[in-house]
Structure 1
Amino acid sequence: MRVKLRSIVEDNTSRSGKLFDYLIQVLILLSLIAFSVETLPNISTIVKFYLDLFETFCVVIFSIEYLIRVYVAKKPLKYIFSFYGIIDLLAILPFYLRGTLDFRALRAFRVFRIFRALKLIRYNKALHRFHLAAKLVKEEIVLFLIVTAIFVFIASAGIYYFENDAQPEVFASIFHSAWWAVVTLTTVGYGDVYPITTGGKIFTFCILIIGVGIVTIPAGLVATSLSKAREIEEKENETLS
């Protein structure tokens, strides 16, 4: 029985495994839609009743799925404390906790239902390519983060130098200036903090130009690594065939 269940739950190459995967995916998507509808204001009592009923149904199915995965796992504790095991548990735990404590205090736990979306990556074949791409680009990403951190510090120190005398309450220190540096380097520019001196404006222009490059670098790295990962995957498939 355990071997048969394992082939259905963990092997999505068989017909029964694919059917199981598709049913779970559809149920996850429907539960997310129901959760979104539930947040609409002024929904009727009857709609809320059916949404709660559907929520209970989803939790029952996901609970059974979780218990089956624990049962068929070769090392149950390893699965329970793995990333996927924790996500699976967080997808159902708030529902059971709701009746044991004050409901209002547990409303925040309802947000954890969004973790069901993360369960989709279990069934996505593209996960392998992303994992391979992450390995290929790991060193470049680490270097990029280090360089970005240096730029954030330089930008914070620079704008503090130019604007501290003119706006001492806004740019009170390099730490206070870090918020401006982050939103400027990422080209978000909320407008809540901005320079008013000539030197500060010129410095901001330079930082914005650098920021455009900083924003585009990760996209280029990821796109290139995914392309290489796809090539490697195709070669692996050709070798296997």
Structure 2
Amino acid sequence: MKKRIKNIIEINDNLESKIFAFAIQLLILISIVTFTLETEPDLEPTTRKILRVIETFSVIIFTFEYIFRIYVADSKRKFVFSFFGIIDLFAIVPFYLSFGIDLRSLRALRLLRLFRVLKLVRYNKALNDFIFAIKSAKEQIILFLFITLILIYFSAVGIYYFEGQAQPEHFRSIFDSLWWAIITLTTVGYGDVYPITVGGKVFTFIILLIGLGIVAIPTGIISSALTKSVDSKTE
């Protein structure tokens, strides 16, 4: 029985496993839709009741899935504390914790239901390839993030000295300048804070050029790692 259950709930080429994977993916998507609909303020009581029934049904299925995965795991402890084990737990725990808890606290718990989206990773080969690519390029990504943090701080210091006296309400300190540095380096540019001095404008131009490169670098790193991941599987 244990072997049969394992062949069904783990990704295999048999028909039962494919049907199970498809059913779970469909249920995850339905659960996400119901979670989104629940945020509508003007829903009829009947509609809310239906959504609650769907949520309850989904949690029951996810709970049995979680229990069965622990049951068939070669190392139960290893599975419980693995990435997928934690995701599976977070996908169901908000439902059970919501009983007897103040509704104001329940709002925070509902956010944990978003972890159900990550459950799709287990069944999607493309997402698995993406995660593998991230892991293989983690050293380059960490280095990039470290350099980005340095550049953000450097940008905040620079704009503070250029604009601090001209716009003390926006650039009172380096901490206040960090907001400008982040939205400028990421090329978002909300326009709520901008330089008015000549030096500040020239400095901003340079930072914008650097920001364009910052946006492009992680794309290249991940694309290269993803290509290597796909090529290694096709060989």
Alignment of 1:81-120 (within 5 A): 81-120=81-120
Q: Please say if residues 8 and 16 of structure 2, whose CA atoms lie closer than 8 Å, have aligned partners that are also in contact.
A: yes
Residue in 2 that maps onto 1:121 = 121
Q: 1:136 to 1:55 in 2, by over 3 A?
A: closer
Matches within 5 A, 1:33-182: 33-182=33-182
- Does the 8 Å contact 2:156/2:174 carry over to 1? yes
Other structure's SS at 1:91 match: helix
- Counterparts of residues 222-233 of structure 1 (less than 5 Å): 222-233=222-233
Paired amino acid for 1:46:
T
Name which of structure 1's ranges 51-60 and 96-105 shifts more when overlaid on structure 2.
96-105
Cα deviation for residue 192 of structure 1 reads 2.2
Q: What is the Cα deviation at residue 136 of structure 1?
A: 4.0
- Give me the whole-angstrom Cα distance separating, in 1, the residues matched to 2:41 and 2:99: 24
Partner amino acid for 2:52?
D
Instruction: State how far apart, in whole Å, the 2-side matches of 1:78 and 1:137 are.
Output: 25
Aligned counterparts of 1:144 and 1:208: Cα–Cα separation in 2: 17
- CA apart distance, 1:90: 1.1
Paired residue for 2:31?
A: 31
Unaligned runs of 5+ in 1: 236-241
Return closer, same or farther for 1:49/1:136 CA change in 2, 3 Å cut-off: closer
CA contact 1:88–1:119 (8 Å) conserved in 2: yes
Cα shift readout 1:136-174 (whole Å, capped 9, x = no counterpart): 433332332232222112211111110111122322222
1:234 is aligned to 2:234? yes
Q: Alpha-carbon deviation of 1:82?
A: 1.5
Secondary structure of 1:104's aligned partner = helix
SS of residue paired to 2:104: coil
Secondary structure in structure 1 of the residue aligned to 2:200: helix
The aligned residue for residue 239 of structure 1 is: none
Percent of pairs with identical residues: 52
Query: Is contact 1:27-1:58 (8 Å) kept?
Result: yes
Q: Would the aligned equivalents of 1:21 and 1:123 in 2 still touch at CA under 8 Å?
A: yes
Do the aligned residues in 2 keep the contact of 1:31 with 1:55 (CA within 8 Å)? yes
**Structure 1 residue 133: Cα displacement:** 2.0
Give 1:135 deviation, angstroms. Answer: 4.3
Does structure 2 retain, via aligned residues, the 8 Å contact 1:12–1:21? no
Q: Distance in 1 between matches of 2:195 and 2:230?
A: 46
Q: What residue in structure 1 maps to residue 7 of structure 2?
A: 7
Cα RMSD for the two superposed structures:
1.6
Residue 41 of structure 1: how far off its partner (Å): 2.7
Q: Secondary structure at the match of 2:137?
A: helix
The structure-2 alpha-carbon separation of the partners of 1:139 and 1:89, relative to structure 1 and needing over 3 Å to count, comes to: closer
Note if 1:214 corresponds to 2:214.
Answer: yes
Contact 1:129 1:233 in 2 (8 A): no
List gaps (5 residues or longer) in structure 2.
none
C-alpha contact (below 8 Å) 2:164/2:172 kept by paired residues: yes
Contact 1:163 1:196 (8 Å CA) reproduced: yes
Instruction: Check conservation: 1:141, 1:218, Cα contact below 8 A.
Output: yes
- Aligned residue-pair number: 235
Distance 1:142 1:38 in 2: 38
Deviation string, structure 1 residues 1-32 (Cα, Å, up to 9, x no partner) = 11211111123322211111111011111111
Aligned residue for 1:74, secondary structure, equals: coil
Does the Cα contact within 8 Å between 1:162 and 1:199 map onto a contact in 2?
Answer: yes
